[in-house]
Structure 1
Amino acid sequence: EHELGAGQSFLIEPEQLVSYEADRADPWAYRWIAFRGPWAAEAASAFGAGRTVADTGRSRRPAAALRLAMDALRQPAGAQLAAAGGLQLALGEIARACARRDEPGDAPGGAEEDNALVRALLRLLSTQYAEPVTMEGIAESLGYSRAYLSRVFKRHTGATPVSYLLRLRIDKGRLMLRERKDLTVEQIASSVGLQDALYFSRQFRRFYGESPSEYRQSVWGS
């Protein structure tokens, strides 16, 4: 018997009688795909010798690869080739997760992985703060859920990604108010990724205790 959670995959081998069911209180959603052929045994070895359960942690890549394979099967041309490619991507992710599990001190979702994730997110926010980015989009691009991303980021920085991004935008706007006298408050707000100048002004006052116009006047004297 195996009790499975989010991010785990299981393999059912041929000619075996297996039953499985979702938790009654917290039912799951899952994807499955059947495969056979000369490479099937090698593909199944992604789980490791004698194992039928794999944990890929919070990565969304295996599910995305399976979705790619299943979508390919609905197409009239090239379905088998495209589906096989998606399945191999999913099994590759499973094989990497199992390999990490077998390496001492390097469990999936460990401290080093979390540190790397936070560094990647900081780089993304610092370079894309002026763009209309969303945390859902960023989480998707990094292959993690938004909830996990927020939890790890806050543990390392003391702030959620959303609040960090807002403070970054306001700080960049404050710098532009000081250095770009030729730009209006509306233009500066837009330049730092906030299309609502009134919202920019309210948040600026919340962080600095004065409006953008008052701050600019204190710097330039007019």
Structure 2
Amino acid sequence: MNTDRHSFKSDQTDALSLSVYNVGYEKCQGLHSWGSGVRDHYLIHHIISGKGVYKTPQGEYHLSAGDTFLIYPYTVITYTADKNDPWEYYWAGFNGSDAEFILDRAGFTRDCPVISADFGSELKDSLERIYRLSGNRSSDLVKMTGQLYITLGILMERSGSQSRSGSTAKGYVTKAKNYIAHNYTLGIGVENATDFVGVSRATLYRAFMEYEGLSPAQYIT
């Protein structure tokens, strides 16, 4: 089986406060892997089918369709497609002075570089538009960057995450659930979740009871 891969790599990456480095789509073969290695830019993968494993210094994440994972610059990582149900994903690589601020507001952290949210086809379609706009003219660069901002805006809106200072109860629950989903195999407890979200145990308890109908401890169990 041949790998189905379509991609574009820009040769202009220093003109704007946010610049697209590369973008594309790939339907991987079983056990297709990248790494271990590092990137010199941020790289988002949005999985549209199949499964795989993403490994970082902070943990190992078993991911599937609907999950979106972020690779941080200069971080040693590995990601591998499942042997029997290999993943298919869209990706976009980028960097710039705006990148860290936006990704933080979207809910990504080094401790939990994964978002699990219902984007429908909106995120996939937006990433595909970046690829369709690809080119090395200055006008192409601006168009690609504009669509990248839209893509990151979708992540911010749909992930249910806000800035740490402005999170709602629902945002606390969403952030805690993402953390628990990708770290429960490490034997985490409620205190780990509250430390990650940045709220008290009582606050997280009230939020979970309101939106999940059970306590954080029950949810972890």
Name which structure has the greater RCO, CA cutoff 8 Å, separation 6+: 2
Q: TM-score, normalised by structure 2?
A: 0.43
| Structure of larger gyration radius | 1
Structure richer in strand, relative to its length: 2
